[in-house]
């Protein structure tokens, strides 16, 4: 296991969508990026900038218009912007369907990791958005991924829930060796979770900046104000001005 091993190589990738008027929306043109094995990468950028599209391309859910993505054969765990649980299946069955062969002990551990003890028999319709997001994350981990793709995993949660879930995710990331890509527009998410932050911008999207974060993850909460100064060009999320990100 070499430190320089590549988890994912994106070479000269282009992706366009057809607009209703027939013109093309060019999301990526000749876009190249290499992500390191076992690293946590945050993709940061404005809404509509191409983050979800890039995750979907990496996952193989979308095909590039041109260019190539090379990734070793791997198990992919993914949590989408919307939790996308199967509504007619219990929480436990949602996990079992994603991870066939999941033992009962592993199922319970996956639920417990996201504070879902006792929720296995619930149905998605009974869950708040915060709980549904926890289930979506537990499901992504249940597959024991070596590539974990997370698209705005805390979107639309109030600040307290956002922080709590982020802290739980940080614990799970620390506990398992895997390559992680998190799309977010929240600078604090990136600063608290990532080994590297990739700032995307422009149309078509380009890498505007790359920021390596060497500080141990467990020390970042108390240093968040300092960490934010590493990206003075990127606005902190409104309503998240205080330094205490509440990992407790
Ligand atoms: N299936 C699609 N058909 C047409 N256009 C699409 C499709 N998917 C994405 N787009 C367009 O591609 C652009 C990038 O969208 P994308 O969802 O990747 O951005 P994003 O950075 O993830 O934004 P957000 O945070 O709002 O999800 C947008 O202009 C979007 O309208």
Could you read off the pLDDT of 3-29 as tens digits, one per residue?
445 678 999 999 999 989 989 999 999
Question: Closest ligand 1 atom, CA of 62?
Answer: 1
What CATH number is associated with residue 220? Answer: 3.40.50.300
Count how many domains the chain has.
Answer: 1
Question: Closest ligand 1 atom, CA of 18?
Answer: 4
Residues 6+ apart with CB under 8 A from 114: 134, 135, 137, 138, 141, 165, 168, 172
pLDDT, one tens digit per residue, over 101-145 is 999 999 999 999 999 999 999 999 999 999 999 999 999 999 999
Q: Which domain holds residue 203?
A: 7-72+182-232
Q: Is residue 1 part of a domain?
A: no
Q: Is residue 64 part of a domain?
A: yes
Q: Is residue 189 part of a domain?
A: yes
Task: Please name the residue whose Cα sits nearest to atom 26 of ligand 1.
Answer: 47
Q: Is residue 210 part of a domain?
A: yes
Q: Is residue 208 part of a domain?
A: yes
Cβ of residue 45 lying under 6 Å from some atom of ligand 1 = yes
Cβ of residue 80 lying under 6 Å from some atom of ligand 1 = no
Contact 56, 79 (CB under 8 A): no
Q: Is residue 22 part of a domain?
A: yes
Q: Is residue 65 part of a domain?
A: yes
Cβ of residue 229 lying under 6 Å from some atom of ligand 1 = no
Q: Sorting pLDDT into bands at 50, 70 and 90, what band is 235?
A: confident
pTM of this structure: 0.91
Q: Is residue 195 part of a domain?
A: yes
Task: Please name the residue whose Cα sits nearest to atom 31 of ligand 1.
Answer: 48
Cβ of residue 25 lying under 6 Å from some atom of ligand 1 = yes
pLDDT, one tens digit per residue, over 136-175 is 999 999 999 999 999 999 988 999 999 999 999 999 999 9
Question: Closest ligand 1 atom, CA of 152?
Answer: 25
Going from the Cα of 96 to the center of ligand 1, the distance in angstroms, rounded, reads: 30
Cβ of residue 245 lying under 6 Å from some atom of ligand 1 = no
Going from the Cα of 216 to the center of ligand 1, the distance in angstroms, rounded, reads: 33
């Amino acid at each position: 296991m070499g430190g320089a091993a590549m988890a994912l190589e994106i070479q000269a990738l282009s992706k366009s969508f057809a607009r209703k008027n027939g013109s093309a929306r060019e999301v990526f043109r000749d876009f190249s990026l290499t992500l390191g094995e076992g690293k946590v990468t945050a993709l940061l950028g404005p809404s509509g900038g191409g983050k979800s599209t890039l995750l979907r391309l990496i996952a193989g859910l979308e095909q590039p218009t041109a260019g190539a993505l090379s990734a070793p054969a791997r198990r992919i765990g993914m949590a989408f912007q919307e939790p996308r649980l199967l509504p007619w299946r219990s929480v436990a069955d949602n996990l079992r369907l994603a991870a066939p062969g999941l033992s009962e002990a592993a199922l319970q551990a996956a639920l417990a990791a996201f504070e879902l003890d006792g929720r296995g028999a619930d149905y998605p319709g009974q869950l708040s958005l915060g709980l549904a997001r926890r289930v979506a994350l537990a499901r992504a981990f249940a597959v024991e991924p070596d590539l974990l793709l997370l698209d705005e995993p805390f979107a639309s949660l109030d600040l307290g829930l956002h922080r709590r879930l982020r802290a739980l995710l940080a614990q799970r990331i620390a506990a398992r060796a895997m390559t992680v890509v998190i799309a977010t527009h929240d600078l604090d998410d990136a600063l608290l979770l990532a080994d590297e932050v990739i700032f995307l911008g422009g149309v078509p999207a380009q890498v505007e900046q790359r920021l390596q974060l060497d500080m141990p993850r467990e020390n970042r909460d108390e240093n968040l104000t300092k960490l934010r100064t590493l990206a003075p060009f990127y606005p902190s999320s409104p309503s998240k001005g205080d330094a205490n990100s509440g990992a407790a």
